[in-house]
Structure 1
Amino acid sequence: MTEAQTASEEWTPSEVQRERDEWRRRRTLRSAVIAAGSTLLLLGVIGGAVISSPGWERVRETYFDWDKAVSSFPAVLEGLWLNIRVMAICWVLILVVSLTVAVVRTLRGPVAFPLRLLGTAYVDVFRGLPLLLVIFLLGFGGPALGLSGLPTSALFWGCSALVLSYSAYVAEVFRAGIESVHPSQRLAGRSLGLSYGQTLRHVVLPQAWRRVIPPLMNDLVSLQKDSGLIAVLGVTDAIRKAQIETALDFNYTPYVVAGALFCCLTIPMARLTDRYARKKGYHGAGGHL
Structure 2
Amino acid sequence: MSAPPSAGVVLPPVSDVEAGRRSYRRSRQRRSTGIAVLSTVVFAVVLVVGTTSAPGWPRTQQSFLDPDVARRALPLVLEGLWLNLRVLVVAAVLVLVIGLGVALLRTLRGPLWAPVRLLAALYTDVFRGMPLIVLLYIIGFGVPGLRLQGVPTDKVVLGTTAIVLVYAAYVSEVFRAGIESVHPSQRAAARALGLTHRQTTRLVVLPQAVRNVTPPLLNDLVALQKDVGLISVLGAIDAVRQAQILSATTANFTPYIVAVVLFVLLAVPTARLADWSTARARRRQQAGGIL
Is this a same-fold pair by TM over 0.5?
yes
The residue that corresponds to 2:128 in the other structure is: 127
Displacement of 1:23 = 3.4
Distance 1:149 1:28, change over 3 A: same
CA drift of 1:27 comes to: 2.6
Where does residue 288 of structure 2 map in the other structure?
A: none
Shift of 1:29: 2.2
Is contact 2:212-2:281 (8 Å) kept? no
Letter in 2 for 1:32: T
Moved more, 191-200 or 255-264: 191-200
1:96 matches 2:97: yes
Aligned to 1:8: 10
Q: Quick one: which amino acid aligns to residue 279 of structure 1?
A: R
Which position in structure 1 is the counterpart of 2:236?
235
**Any unmatched runs of 5+ in structure 2?**
285-291
Please identify, of 131-140 and 201-210, the stretch whose mean Cα deviation from structure 2 is larger: 201-210
TM-superposed deviation, 1:280: 1.9
Residue 245 of structure 1 aligns with which residue? 246
Q: CA deviation at 1:3?
A: 9.8
* TM superposition shift of 1:2: 9.2
Cα distance change, pair 54–181 in 1 and its aligned pair in 2 (3 A): same
Residues 180-217 of structure 1, C-alpha deviations (whole Å, 9 max, x = no match): 11122222222333322222112211111111111111
Distance 1:207 1:3 in 2: 34
The amino acid of 2:81's aligned partner reads L
Q: Distance in 2 between matches of 1:106 and 1:114?
A: 12
Residue aligning to 1:200: 201
Aligned CA distance change for structure 1 residues 113 and 257 (closer, same or farther; 3 Å): same
C-alpha offsets along residues 135-161 of structure 1, whole Å, 9 cap, x if unaligned?
111111111222332211111110000
The 1:282/1:218 distance shift into structure 2, 3 A limit, reads farther
**1:129-278 pair list within 5 angstroms:** 129-278=130-279
Deviations 1:28-56 (A, max 9, x none): 22222211111111122222221121111
Give the distance between the partners of 1:94 and 1:2, measured in 2 at CA: 50
Distance in 2 (CA, whole Å) between partners of 1:282 and 1:91 is: 28
Which residue matches 1:287?
none
What is the CA-CA distance between 1:264 and the residue it aligns to? 0.4
The percent identity for this pair of structures is 51
Unpaired segments of 5 or more residues in structure 1? 284-289
Q: How well do the aligned residues superpose, as a CA RMSD in angstroms?
A: 2.1
Q: TM-score, normalised by structure 2?
A: 0.91
Amino acid at match of 1:245: L
- Would you say how many aligned residue pairs link Structure 1 and Structure 2? 283
What residue in structure 1 maps to residue 36 of structure 2?
35
Q: Secondary structure at the match of 1:95?
A: helix
